[in-house]
């Protein structure tokens, strides 16, 4: 009679699903949806979302000042705090949501739809921002979140936050649509190019490199650590 081993057979590990490497294409555009209406709505002119967020910032600041929710000095302070908050939100969303590890088929699809398509077609000008419908929804959602969380301070904070959003969209569009200028503004082009064409695990800031410096994801720093390892 054959002896039965007390050890249970080990289950084979579930294979990890990883997204294939993306090679940038400087012409054309990806098809994200089979439905022609959804596909059309996934494209937008950059002026629409930039305008929506810029108008939101101006109206929020105007309303807060004219209704007595804040004075000139407090409005400036709240505006700057909101702007700083946006730079961190921009960094965090780009790093932790848009570059979510694609370890399952669902994550692969989500990551590509949200951001991977931009890495594959970085010059597609119609997919450098959210469509207007989504932009209006996000702007409205931000208003209710800020109003519920910060009360009367919301108008100053929201103006700075949405102004930062508009600036981010404008800067990101300029980086991908135009050649780098021959002045100090070139740092934006250089920094973002590192993320797209050399190391996508660094340089997550677009409108600002502040949080890359603070958190330690500047391109030079990461390269030096890899060489030392």
**Which residues, 6 or more positions from 195, have their beta carbon under 8 angstroms from its beta carbon?**
202, 203, 204, 219
> 8 lies in a domain?
no
pLDDT computed for residue 21 by the predictor? 63
**Which residues, 6 or more positions from 27, have their beta carbon under 8 angstroms from its beta carbon?**
123
Mind listing the pLDDT tens digit for each residue in 51-99?
999 999 999 999 999 999 999 899 999 999 999 999 999 999 999 999 9
Q: What is the DSSP letter of 217?
A: -
Q: What is the DSSP letter of 151?
A: G
> 114 lies in a domain?
yes
Mind listing the pLDDT tens digit for each residue in 116-175?
899 999 999 999 998 889 999 999 999 999 999 999 999 999 999 999 999 999 999 999
pLDDT surpasses 70 at 228? no
> 127 lies in a domain?
yes
Q: Residue 192 sits in which domain range?
A: 36-228
23-50 average pLDDT score: 89
pLDDT computed for residue 20 by the predictor? 59
Q: Kindly state the tokens that stand for 41.
A: 């709505």
Report how many domains make up the chain. Answer: 1
Confidence band, pLDDT 50/70/90 cuts, at residue 3: very low
> 173 lies in a domain?
yes
> 1 lies in a domain?
no
3-state secondary structure of 226: helix
> 64 lies in a domain?
yes
> 208 lies in a domain?
yes
56 vs 227, more confident: 56
**Cβ neighbour number for residue 131 with a 10 Å cutoff:** 18
Nearest to 159 by CA among 71, 70, 90, 59: 59
> 7 lies in a domain?
no
pLDDT surpasses 60 at 223? no
């Amino acid at each position: 009679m054959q002896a039965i081993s007390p050890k249970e057979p080990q289950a084979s590990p579930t294979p990890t699903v990883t997204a294939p490497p993306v090679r940038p294409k400087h012409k054309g555009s990806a098809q994200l949806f089979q439905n022609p209406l959804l596909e059309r709505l996934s494209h937008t002119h950059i002026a629409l979302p930039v305008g929506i967020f810029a108008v939101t910032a101006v109206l929020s600041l105007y309303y807060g000042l004219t209704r007595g929710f804040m004075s000139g000095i407090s409005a400036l302070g709240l505006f700057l705090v909101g702007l700083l908050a946006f730079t961190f939100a921009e960094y965090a969303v780009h790093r932790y949501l848009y570059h979510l590890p694609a370890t399952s088929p669902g994550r692969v699809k989500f990551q590509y739809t949200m951001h991977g398509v931009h890495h594959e077609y970085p010059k597609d000008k119609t997919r450098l921002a959210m469509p207007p419908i989504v932009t209006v929804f996000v702007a409205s959602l931000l208003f209710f979140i800020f109003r519920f969380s910060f009360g009367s301070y919301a108008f100053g904070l929201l103006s700075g936050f949405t102004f930062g959003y508009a600036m981010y969209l404008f800067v990101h569009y300029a980086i991908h649509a135009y050649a780098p200028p021959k002045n100090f503004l070139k740092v934006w082009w250089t920094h973002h190019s590192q993320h797209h064409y050399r190391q996508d695990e660094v340089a997550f800031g677009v409108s600002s490199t502040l949080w890359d410096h603070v958190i330690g994801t500047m391109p030079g720093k990461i390269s030096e650590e890899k060489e030392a390892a």
